A = this chain, B = another copy of it.
Amino acid sequence: MKESLDFIYKTQKELSTFGGIAALLGWDQMTYMPYMGIMKRSEQSSLISRLIHEKTVSDTFWNHIQKLSKPSNFNNLTEKDKNVVKRLKKDVEKARKIPSEFVEKMSKTTTLAYSAWEKARKKNDFSIFLPYLKKIIELEKEYCGYRNLPGPRYNNLLDDYEEGMTVDVLKREFDFLKPNIIEVLEKIKSSNIYEKQKNPDIKWNKNKQREICDILTDKMTLPKTRSRLDISTHPFTTSMGYDDVRLTTNFEHENPLFSFFSTIHEAGHALYELNMPQNEYKDTVISDSPSLGLHESQSRFWENMIARSKNFWKYFFPVFQKISPDQFKDLDFEKWYKYVNKVQPSLIRVEADELTYCLHVILRFEIEVALMEEKISVSELPVIWNLKMDEMLGLTPRDDKEGVLQDMHWSGGNFGYFPTYAIGTIYASQLFNQMIKEKSSFYNDIENGDFTNIVTWLRKNVHNYGRIMNANETIKNCCGKGLNSKIFITYLKNKYSDIYDI
């Protein structure tokens, strides 16, 4: 037992070290790497991925895990060791089910598919991407065969990003969410305020945008000794270790709200990474997020529930005013608050407002499930996309660039990923609801720009657990119920009835 325990802890530590190296290779590629460095960089990243994979699926590792999992041994383990062994067994068992040749085939296909998608998008021609997407979907089906979870095939893909989540549960939630969001949207669209809404003319240079983002991360208690904010085309967060978390934004939009909201979003992810369990679970599989959805709940919590709230702007509106008094002289607080919460159906997911965002996700979920259940074919996608867009948002893309070709996810084989964006948003509303229920003084904290108590609350209720429970269990443990769209809808209705006077 001692030998096996030593071995599994040593291996986990090495895997975590490799993980940090992989994160640095990726971060540098997106931030500072000279353009031509990409060829060597992909070799470097592949080498580390291969070493991680080999170490994870090695027979020796698996034998030690199996030995420790035998009831006669397992029952004598400490609580901590039990948690680690249980988690490891699941992870490694899953990884060992996927043949290495398949991983390689998928990786080669997605590399080609990404280029094809880029070209298709540029030329606005879905047919360029079509054969690659077909191939990827075949591979996804093959993958589902290896995993072979009960229920619909798509469950296998969902489970990769949101362990334990199923098509049934998501269908139930989304079938409630969709009509309710559309109902709110319709009311808003027929309101007086919606008709008259327009954007103030705010243009900030990079220095001013950087200034407000630095104030923000500081307020959110991100320590400069353990994190940093850089610039990349697409904002992201990554971690090279407990004390080295990197987030990015970009200052290319003249309107400061893009960098401001992307920074608060990424800072939500970063706080989660910085607060991963360090003590007994340091360098183990437990010290990670159980799902992308739960990770997204942390970013959405800050981006939507906190930073689009009235209380938040009581503190930050004057800060914005002070940085740029000229541009704010015709803006009062109410106008500004309405502006940052403006609803405007759009064709592009990443530009969507808080209300309509989930409709974009539901659209993709419905399509992905239907593809996996072979109810639609890949060549029908552009038409189906546009029909659904019209049904949910009342808009029709002018071309596939505005429609089915807008996101890169499918070219990377990331089926089952999109739902986590909605799951995270729903979880975020549940966490916020619970937090306020426990102590309404959090409202005052937000109003005072003091987020320390909120960070402590999130740490206690979410961050600290790592992967001891899955995401849904973590939310249930904190909020009494697992994934619950009703809370989210109530939150949306309250918010927009005030803003749009409906």
Give the B-binding residues of A (Cβ under 8 A): 14, 17-18, 20-21, 24-25, 28, 32-37, 39-41, 43-44, 47-48, 51, 223-228, 230, 240-245
Contact = CB atoms under 8 A, between A and B. Distances in A.
Contacts of A18: 47
A225 B35 contact: yes
B226 A40 contact: no
Contacts of A43: 17
Return the 5 tightest CB-CB contacts between A and B, nearest first: A40-B241, A37-B244, A36-B243, A35-B225, A36-B225
Contacts of A48: 21
Q: Give chain A's interface secondary structure class.
A: helix
Given A21-B25, A35-B225, 14 more contacts: A17-B40, A17-B43, A18-B47, A20-B44, A24-B44, A32-B230, A33-B240, A33-B244, A34-B225, A34-B226, A37-B226, A37-B240, A40-B244, A41-B240
A36 B244 CA distance: 7
Contact of A40 (B20, B34, B39, B228): B20
Max chain B Cβ within 10 angstroms of own Cβ: one of A28, A34, A225: A34
Copies in the complex: 2
Given A24-B28, A44-B20, A225-B34, A39 B230 contact: no
A28 B25 contact: no
Given A242-B40, A243-B40, A244-B40, A228 B20 contact: no
A206 to B, nearest CB: 14
Nearest to A48: B21
A38 B143 CA distance: 39
A47 B17 contact: yes
Contacts of A41: 240-241, 244
Given A21-B21, A227-B34, A228-B32, A240 B14 contact: no
A28 B436 CA distance: 41
Contacts of A25: 21, 24
B32 A44 contact: no
Given A37-B226, A37-B243, A243-B39, A44 B17 contact: yes
B14 A226 contact: no
A122 B127 CA distance: 68
Nearest to A51: B51
Contact of A34 (B20, B37, B224): B224
Contacts of A225: 34-36
12 contacts: A17-B47, A21-B47, A24-B24, A24-B44, A34-B224, A34-B227, A36-B223, A36-B226, A37-B226, A37-B241, A40-B242, A44-B240
Given A25-B24, A40-B17, A34 B242 contact: no
Contacts of A230: 32
A224 B34 CA distance: 7
Nearest to A43: B17
A81 to B, nearest CB: 22
A25 B240 CA distance: 11
Given A28-B28, A47-B14, A243 B20 contact: no
Contacts of A33: 240, 244
A15 to B, nearest CB: 11
A46 to B, nearest CB: 9
Contacts of A243: 34, 36-37, 39-40
A226 B33 CA distance: 9
Given A47-B18, A48-B21, A39 B241 contact: yes
Contacts of A240: 33, 37, 40-41, 44
Contacts of A39: 241, 243
Contacts of A20: 40, 44
A230 B228 CA distance: 16
A214 to B, nearest CB: 14
A13 to B, nearest CB: 8
A257 to B, nearest CB: 27
Nearest to A28: B24
A34 B225 CA distance: 5
Nearest to A45: B21
A501 to B, nearest CB: 46
Contacts of A14: 47
